[in-house]
Structure 1
Amino acid sequence: MSGDRCPVGYPLPWASAPDIPEGWTTLREQPLLEISLPSGEPALLVTRYKDVRRLFADERLSRNTFGRASRVSASNDLFGDPRIDNDPPRYLTERAVVMRAFSARRIEALRTVVKEIVEQLLDEMERGPQPAELMEAFAYPLPILVICHMLGVPPRDRAKFRRLIDGFLSVSRLPEDEVEECRRQYWDYLTELIDAKRAEPGDDLISELIEISREDPSKLTGYQLQHWVKTLLIAGYVTTASQLGTSMAVLLHRPEVAAELKADLPLVPSAVEELLRYQIMGTSLGTLRYAVEDIELLDGTTVIPKGSTVLLSQESNMDADEFENPLHLDIRRTENHHLTFGAGIHFCAGAALARMELQEATEGLLRRFPGLRLAVPGEQLKRPEGGFLAGYTEIPVSW
């Protein structure tokens, strides 16, 4: 890579409306882009779909970045932890344990619970004033209630853990001392929760993971157990909430597309996949990787140098070599192998749960409120600043 060009600030700025950033349209003209992270530190962005998909499985890209790679945030280590091995073979052992919780059978059994929660939240919306604020009334509480049910978090603790997670995910929104305090409190809270489950197990995922760890600590030590619970609570709440909110904003910003889906609700699964491809949780930040060797890309001439910090671009979901007319939102798209959940051994453990929640939430909203619409022009929707995810702070809706 040439060092004579100015790195591009990343993530690329979003337009005011729920539309794809203009910079995404030309991003793949070069397979590797020099970028500057929010911390001000450098990284390389892999832009093309085929490169990105291949590199998800390339062990020359390590996810053990702590202390050797650039940082997303100057004031927050986010997911960096020197005591956690995020590479094979250790990572695969832990992942295999956690993946038991996300079997197709278990997710389908949970669907009834999700339907009930969706209906309860819709009842409350219907009784409340209009316009309603979709994020607070629906998009945030749904995944919080689901993941807390799944992991066995007491209802009284839900508001507390949401506050701590929001602080944990600050990139530049909060000062360093506040971020550190949220991280400390979150870890202490998980310690207390897991200790309580050890003393009094329940029919929940934390209790199941504790039993696995007790039977064979080589599969999951106590520290690793706590790390995975922390990760699952964060991923199960905030990413799904952001994706749900941004998906509905994108959809309602296009009334003709929303009307098409309302008239044909069996299209909801394909619409959810297309919105996952198109909106990507409102953000383009992702997991950093570190090149332990030089890595040649598929064009045969571009090389990721050893020692580089690397991001695998989710904007590769807009690659015209992989998706026909990729900048067009097509809720009937059938060939949709997007990379929003990653790929291979780094495919998101909770993808099936997120998909199911998004399907039930989207279908429920459109069925209950066929007149659902944005209460303000899409151009007026505000995105938060300084967080890991860049969805919307508020989405006022009427019906």
Structure 2
Amino acid sequence: MSLPDAVDYPFAWEPPMEVPAGWRTLREHSLQPVRLPSGDPAVLVTRYRDVKALFSDHRLSRNTGRYPTSRISPNNEIFNDPEIDNDPPRYLEERSLVVRAFSARRIESLRPHVWEIADELMDAMAAAEQPVDLMESFAFPLPIRVICRLLGVPHEEHAKFRELVDGFLSVTKLPTEEVERCRVGLWTYLGELIDAKRHHPTNDLTSELVKISDEDQKKLSDHQLQHWVQTLLIAGYVTTASQIGTSMAVLLHRPHLVREVQADFGIVPTAVEELLRYQLMGTSLGSLRYCLEDIELSDGTVVPKGSTVMLSVESNFDEEVFTCPMDLDIHRRENNHMSFGSGIHYCAGAPLARMELQVSMEGLLRRFPGLRLAQPGEDLPRVEGGFLGGFSYVPVRW
């Protein structure tokens, strides 16, 4: 079965509030060849059924640093750490240690604290001159404060942490030297944080993981410990921040939907899920895998051994799974989207992200009943050259 011609990836959000045109025909083929930002080739698995199955398929390896996997970026080997085993059984053993820390009970116990942070940020917004940038005033500071508290990062170091993470996640945005400075700086900083927790443990997740590592290096070596703290800090901050800003921008672009939420805040959870499905602030770059042997997809198409493979979050628009997928339906009930992955690679921090998104939407729309975009949604600038594709600036009034 012949494949279509390769296309550039990620797809451009043009205009920024509309689903990329390339997504509308993407599932005509189960496998779409693409060119990554590095110029290297990869294949994108497009259909929901195949994507869901492949998330748990041992023939796709996440150990991209150990194989000749295509590069995401021409100047940044994002997440390629050959010392980390991201495949079962080792990955599952380490992941189980982290998942326990993100239990539903623990996350729900954080909700009052998240509301406190949200209220404080909204107080500052209310006192500021309008328009206010929702990204800088709310979307970025809320999750960074939450995840830093969870992991024990001192408040005065939040700005430094954010700068290092932003550089770490550069795809084409920053020069190689700056990316390397941030990569080394972030790793060094986390090593110092772990050392501090080892000598002066506190009631946070980093201290818990340090204790596990110190008791049994076979469970969690020093390098693995540092890797997981880095992963949790990045995932718990930047993806959630981007999704908060993107979700609110998309919602505010449709005032009739804002009014629906304000008339019944009970629909906030379904609205959050639909915005996670519909307006993806990320791409499939984070799902990069190396194909260890030929894999046949549901329609008979073969993913060739040696391919660099991405599992498409764009499968959230598969017509065979989602009714009218191109429509934004904040009342959608059947919504098993792929935005948090699936199977053994389902995002451990999903419960925390959901809770923060729910608090953000309800808090902002309750506190500011007249909240609206201060410029047309079509003119909002998207982030360029980064790992995520949210908005860089979302001015609002009320």
Kindly indicate whether the alpha-carbon contact (under 8 Å) linking 1:60 and 1:292 is maintained by their aligned counterparts in 2.
Answer: yes
For the residues of structure 1 that align with 2:28 and 2:255, how far apart are their CA atoms?
32
For the residues of structure 1 that align with 2:263 and 2:367, how far apart are their CA atoms?
13
| Letter in structure 2 aligned against 1:151 | L
- How far off is 1:16 after superposition? 2.4
Corresponding residue number in structure 2 for 1:185? 185
Corresponding residue number in structure 1 for 2:236? 236
Aligned residues: 397
For the residues of structure 1 that align with 2:285 and 2:20, how far apart are their CA atoms?
14
For the residues of structure 2 that align with 1:303 and 1:258, how far apart are their CA atoms?
44
For the residues of structure 2 that align with 1:214 and 1:259, how far apart are their CA atoms?
53
Alignment of 1:59-78 (within 5 A): 59-66=58-65, 67-78=67-78
Kindly indicate whether the alpha-carbon contact (under 8 Å) linking 1:171 and 1:387 is maintained by their aligned counterparts in 2.
Answer: yes
Alignment CA distance shift 1:284-1:162 (3 Å): same
Kindly indicate whether the alpha-carbon contact (under 8 Å) linking 2:284 and 2:310 is maintained by their aligned counterparts in 1.
Answer: no
TM-score by length of 1: 0.98
For the residues of structure 2 that align with 1:273 and 1:212, how far apart are their CA atoms?
34
Corresponding residue number in structure 2 for 1:164? 164
Corresponding residue number in structure 1 for 2:267? 267
- How far off is 1:68 after superposition? 1.3
For the residues of structure 1 that align with 2:196 and 2:390, how far apart are their CA atoms?
34
The share of aligned pairs that are identical, in percent, is 64
Are 1:208 and 2:214 counterparts? no
Q: Deviations over 1:113-158 (max 9, x none)?
A: 1011011111111111111100000000000000000000001110
| Letter in structure 2 aligned against 1:239 | T
Alignment CA distance shift 1:355-1:388 (3 Å): same
Alignment of 1:42-53 (within 5 A): 42-53=41-52
Corresponding residue number in structure 2 for 1:335? 334
- How far off is 1:17 after superposition? 3.2
For the residues of structure 2 that align with 1:19 and 1:254, how far apart are their CA atoms?
12
Are 1:348 and 2:376 counterparts? no
Q: Deviations over 1:30-88 (max 9, x none)?
A: 00000000000000000000000010010101001114110100100010000000000
TM-score by length of 2: 0.98
Q: Deviations over 1:209-260 (max 9, x none)?
A: 0011112211111110000000111001000000011101110111111111
For the residues of structure 2 that align with 1:283 and 1:293, how far apart are their CA atoms?
25
Are 1:90 and 2:90 counterparts? yes
Kindly indicate whether the alpha-carbon contact (under 8 Å) linking 1:78 and 1:168 is maintained by their aligned counterparts in 2.
Answer: yes
- How far off is 1:279 after superposition? 1.2
| Letter in structure 2 aligned against 1:341 | F
Q: Deviations over 1:249-301 (max 9, x none)?
A: 110111111111111111000000000000122544322101101000011x2
Corresponding residue number in structure 1 for 2:35? 36
For the residues of structure 2 that align with 1:130 and 1:16, how far apart are their CA atoms?
25
Corresponding residue number in structure 2 for 1:307? 306
For the residues of structure 1 that align with 2:122 and 2:244, how far apart are their CA atoms?
14
Corresponding residue number in structure 2 for 1:221? 221
Secondary structure of the residue that 2:286 maps to in structure 1? coil
Kindly indicate whether the alpha-carbon contact (under 8 Å) linking 1:165 and 1:182 is maintained by their aligned counterparts in 2.
Answer: yes
Secondary structure of the residue that 1:286 maps to in structure 2? helix
Corresponding residue number in structure 2 for 1:126? 126
Alignment of 1:289-304 (within 5 A): 289-299=289-299, 301-304=300-303
Secondary structure of the residue that 2:309 maps to in structure 1? strand
Secondary structure of the residue that 2:56 maps to in structure 1? coil
| Letter in structure 2 aligned against 1:166 | D
Q: Deviations over 1:102-122 (max 9, x none)?
A: 001100111111011011111
For the residues of structure 2 that align with 1:17 and 1:291, how far apart are their CA atoms?
33
| Letter in structure 2 aligned against 1:274 | E
Corresponding residue number in structure 1 for 2:142? 142
For the residues of structure 1 that align with 2:199 and 2:258, how far apart are their CA atoms?
49
Kindly indicate whether the alpha-carbon contact (under 8 Å) linking 1:283 and 1:391 is maintained by their aligned counterparts in 2.
Answer: no
Alignment of 1:308-327 (within 5 A): 308-327=307-326
- How far off is 1:2 after superposition? 4.4
Alignment of 1:243-254 (within 5 A): 243-254=243-254
Secondary structure of the residue that 1:113 maps to in structure 2? helix
For the residues of structure 2 that align with 1:2 and 1:329, how far apart are their CA atoms?
33
Are 1:57 and 2:56 counterparts? yes
Kindly indicate whether the alpha-carbon contact (under 8 Å) linking 1:35 and 1:44 is maintained by their aligned counterparts in 2.
Answer: yes
| Letter in structure 2 aligned against 1:272 | V
Corresponding residue number in structure 2 for 1:154? 154
Kindly indicate whether the alpha-carbon contact (under 8 Å) linking 2:282 and 2:387 is maintained by their aligned counterparts in 1.
Answer: no
| Letter in structure 2 aligned against 1:342 | G
Corresponding residue number in structure 2 for 1:17? 16
For the residues of structure 2 that align with 1:243 and 1:285, how far apart are their CA atoms?
16
Corresponding residue number in structure 2 for 1:104? 104
